[in-house]
Structure formats: C-alpha cells, structure tokens
Amino acid sequence: MSEPNLHKPSSSTPMLRFAGITIPKWVVFSLLTIVLYGLMGVVAKFASNTISPLLVQVISSFGMIPLLGVLIFTGKAKKEVSGNLRYGITFSALIGLLSVLAAISQYVAFSKGGPASIVVPVISLSSLVTVLLAIYMFKEKLNRYQIAGIVFSIIAIMMFNEGGGDLQKVSEPWWKTLSSSWMLFSLLALFAAGTAQLFIKAATNHVSSDFVTIVVLITTLVLTVVFVFLQTFSWKMSANDLIACLVVGILGSAAFFTQSIAYSSGMASLVAPLCSLFPVVTVVVSAIFLGEKLTPIIILAVIISSTAGITISIEKKTIEKATVDTDSQ
C-alpha cells in the first residue's frame, strides 16, 4: 500500500476582491481565524473559572452542532474530494483527536490558575511545532528568517513564564515556573495543536475544507459522548456558564472552519504562523473584560511572539523575488 500524500504542490493563489482591493484568500480567512480564536480564548477563560475543564469541553461540543448541520445539509463536502478519500478521513479524524486533547489541556491550564494572557499566547506558538514537523515530514528547509523566528518563539515562551503578574512570582527561577502544572498543560496543548495544524494541510490535500470540518466535528462529538460515560460530572452551572460554554463551541468550530479554508488555499508555512497571532485579540479583550493585569513583560512577549510568527512565514522564494526586483531597477 502506498504511503499517504501529505504534501501536494499548490497552484496559483486564489484571490478575493474587497472594495476594489485584491487580497489572497488565505490571508482573509487567516484574519477571520485570528479574531474567532482570540475571542474564544477569552470566553473559555471565563467558563473555566467556575466549572471543570471536561465539562466545558462537553457543553461546548453542543455549540458545534449548528455549523455541522449547515455543512452536512448543504451537501457541498461530498462533491469536492480532490484526492484519496480514505486519507482525507484519517487525517481529519486525527485532527479531531489532537484538537480535543489541546482544548482539554488548555481548560485544565486555566482551572489550575493559568491566566488567559499567558496560556493562550503560549499555545499560539504551536506554529513552531508545525514548522519543525513540516521540516521532517515535508523535507522543508528553513531560511535564516525562519530560524530567527524559532529563536524568537523560544524567547517569548520564557518571557511568558516570567510575566505571570499576580498569579506567580516573577522572582522565581524560570525552570520552576516551567514545571508548574498549568504551564505543563499549556505546553501539552501547544504540541497537540501544532501537530493538528500539520494534519489540516495534509487533509485538505485530499478533501475539501467542508469535509474536513465535518469529520473533525463528528470526531469531537463522539469523544464527548465517551467523556460523558466515563466521567462523573456535576451538571450544576449558572445560565451564564452554560451560555459561555456554548459560545466557546460556536467560536471554536467557526474558527476551525475558516482556518481549514485558509490552509486549503495557502501554504502551511504561511497560514500557521499568521493564525498564531490571535493572542493579540485575547490579551486586549481579557484586559478590558476580565480585568487581567498586563505587565510590561507580557506585552513585550506578545510583541516578540507576533514577530516570531511573521519571520517564520518569510519564505526563500519571497526573498529571492524581492532581490530580483531590486536588481532589475
């Protein structure tokens, strides 16, 4: 049996027009993903303050049903298989498993005292994992800008460890902070999310973004049923908690859908780092609505994290083209 095709050369970049301006399709949907995931991080923090992480996952799954219903009943997904359907289903199911693991790990990190202004930006560095895995699986080579981006990512993680404000002592050595329970779960979410991102690109090489989203949401719902049977939950919650959990599911499923479209129309090495900039939204909104303290270290770490995402996305072809254009003038 032949090995699954993870990477497929892309054709010309699809473009969209807004008010006479032409913008790459993957950029538009990546920006939508940033907003949706950024808002989801804030709502997830609010929900995890009073109820258990697994219960947040269970309730939020019901918020995914509206999008799932729309995608199934429109019937577009089954008409857009561009590769091997079996590989598309397998990769999509793996995305669902890894996404659930990342989500639960994030909720546990919140419940153990991790602030959204640190946990979410740390997890956003999952693009680092995606890039490293792409080097191994796609045999990609890093240019000096991408290497610099990886260094910036590591620095940002260390700064997030030192910048926890009221919830941790800045005077503690970074290695003690790194071993804290909420940071360990944050890092677990980082690796799970990074691996899932790699499989999004692999899956959309074989099936449409609609199909990938359907399989991922179904996988998530199946795992939710398993959790319900294996775990004993206290279903007592306020109306606000219930609404917050449902909103987490709605935002999360919508964000995954827009992200899948971005991956299907753009390069993984560009989409992953750009989508990882969503903490900018989470940090600002958390400061306004959750009253979380933004220390100078956290603000600087967010800037460095954003710089890391941008530099990781600079490809050799883009650099060469810019050099040629300059030489021709």
Q: Is the pLDDT of residue 319 over 90?
A: no
Which residues have C-beta within 8 Å of that of residue 25, sequence separation ≥ 6? 13, 14, 15, 16, 261, 262, 265, 266
pTM of the entire predicted model: 0.77
Binned at pLDDT 50, 70 and 90, residue 12 comes out as: low
| Residue 42, amino acid | V
Positive or negative CA dihedral for 285, 287, 288, 290? positive
| Residue 230, amino acid | L
Per-residue model confidence (pLDDT) at position 33: 94
Q: Is the pLDDT of residue 299 over 90?
A: no
What secondary structure, in 3-state letters, does 180-211 show? CHHHHHHHHHHHHHHHHHHHHHHHHCCCCHHH
Q: Is 112 exposed, middle or buried (0-12, 13-18, 19+ CB in 10 A)?
A: middle
Lowest mean pLDDT among 120-124, 137-141, 260-264: 137-141
